[in-house]
């Protein structure tokens, strides 16, 4: 059961600011911001939505196939994919570019400010869904604008069911384009902020978006998630954690749980709960790919949290 993951592979430079952004930004001076944050902690991580989703799906012993574009500096990431036994036959190298890079500053309240250089990601439209071969389902995650438009259209024309996950790429599209994505997609997954922006740009309510898809999934952080399907709203609880260390990549871990559940034809309650658990496991670790539970450990945590096994 192969899941095609269309999205970015990126290097993340993550910095931790020990205060709160709200304390450093003056409300009456936002028209001329000139702020420097002291970041005593810094690290470089493997990231990108496709990389993070693939990593988490591999933890579940799923079969991720990443479709992405990388640059001249990508060899460490390619070596990592080989070590993880994640196929990179649909990863295209662009010699004239650098791999996409994110510079993320997180404050003590878990708020984030991110600067992003797309690099080779801007060439993602050079990849074709048909080149992936047989896949059971796909996800169109944040990527180059042209690539996201093309991959969604390709999936629809080839009959590949897919999740539309606009993420931080949502502002690149206008209302008509977002409505088109929704019409093409089998499922739509957004966080609470993205849900508000999606409604604002399309003029559609959550119920109206859900009516155009098989399911609409809205994550709400520590408040859990909501799944709108078959005219109903399913409430998915958040899995408690001992310590929330780093939110980077939690949404991607959640989406890996969705892909696994959908690929295994699980019911929505189980799929949502597994996704919630994967997000909870991730938030207890720094970076998007540094948590490493075994499949039996994931199964045991699911049983402990929900009282049955998936």
pLDDT at 37: 83
**Residue 204 to residue 179: CA distance in whole angstroms:** 9
**Residue 82 to residue 296: CA distance in whole angstroms:** 23
pLDDT at 135: 97
pLDDT at 281: 98
Please give the DSSP secondary-structure letter assigned to residue 123.
G
**Chain center to CA of 33:** 30
Please give the structure tokens belonging to residue 272. 């949502």
Sheet with 112-117: strands ordered across: 41-47, 10-16, 100-106, 112-117
pLDDT at 280: 97
* Residue ranges of the chain whose pLDDT lies below 70: 26-31
| Residue 183: partners with Cβ closer than 8 Å, 6 or more residues away | 212
pLDDT at 30: 65
**Residue 189 to residue 198: CA distance in whole angstroms:** 11
**Residue 239 to residue 218: CA distance in whole angstroms:** 16
How would DSSP label each residue in 246-259?
A: --TTHHHHHHHHHH
pLDDT at 218: 98
How would DSSP label each residue in 29-64?
A: GGGG-------SEEEEEEE-HHHHHHHHHHHTT-EE
pLDDT at 31: 67
| Residue 84: partners with Cβ closer than 8 Å, 6 or more residues away | 54, 55, 58
pLDDT at 27: 64
- Counting Cβ atoms within 10 Å, is residue 16 exposed (0-12), middle (13-18) or buried (19+)? middle
pLDDT at 107: 87
Domain ranges of the chain: 2-10+47-99+121-306
Sheet with 232-236: strands ordered across: 87-93, 63-70, 2-6, 137-140, 162-164, 187-191, 215-219, 225-229, 232-236
Q: Which CATH superfamily is domain 2-10+47-99+121-306 in?
A: Ribokinase (3.40.1190.20)
Nearest C-alpha neighbor of 9 from the set 84, 83, 77, 106: 77
Q: Are the CB atoms for 279 and 296 separated by under 8 Å? A: no
């Amino acid at each position: 059961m192969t899941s095609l993951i269309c999205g970015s592979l990126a290097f993340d430079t993550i910095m931790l600011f020990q205060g709160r952004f709200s304390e450093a930004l003056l409300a009456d001076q936002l028209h001329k911001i000139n702020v420097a944050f002291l970041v005593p902690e810094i690290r470089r991580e493997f990231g990108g939505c496709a990389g993070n989703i693939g990593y988490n799906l591999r933890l579940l012993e799923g079969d991720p196939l990443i479709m992405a574009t990388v640059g001249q500096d990508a060899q460490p990431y390619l070596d990592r994919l080989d070590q993880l036994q994640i196929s990179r036959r649909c990863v295209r190298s662009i010699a004239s570019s650098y791999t996409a890079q994110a510079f993320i500053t997180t404050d003590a309240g878990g708020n984030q400010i991110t600067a992003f250089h797309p690099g080779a990601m801007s060439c993602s439209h050079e990849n074709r869904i048909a080149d992936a071969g047989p896949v059971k389902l796909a996800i169109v995650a944040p990527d180059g604008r042209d690539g996201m438009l093309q991959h969604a259209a390709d999936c629809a024309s080839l009959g590949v069911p897919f999740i539309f996950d606009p993420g931080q790429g949502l502002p690149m599209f206008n209302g008509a384009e977002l409505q088109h994505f929704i019409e093409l997609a089998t499922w739509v997954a957004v966080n609470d902020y993205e849900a508000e922006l999606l409604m604002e740009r399309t003029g559609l309510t959550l119920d109206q978006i859900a009516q155009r898809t098989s399911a609409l999934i809205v994550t709400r952080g520590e408040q859990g998630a909501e799944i709108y399907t078959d005219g109903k709203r399913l409430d998915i609880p958040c899995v408690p954690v001992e310590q929330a260390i780093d939110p980077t990549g939690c949404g991607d871990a959640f989406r890996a749980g969705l892909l696994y559940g959908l690929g295994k034809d699980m019911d929505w309650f189980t799929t949502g709960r597994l996704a919630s658990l994967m997000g909870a496991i991730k938030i207890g670790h720094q970076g998007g790919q540094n948590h490493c539970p075994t499949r039996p450990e994931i199964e045991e945590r699911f049983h402990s949290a929900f009282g049955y096994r998936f």
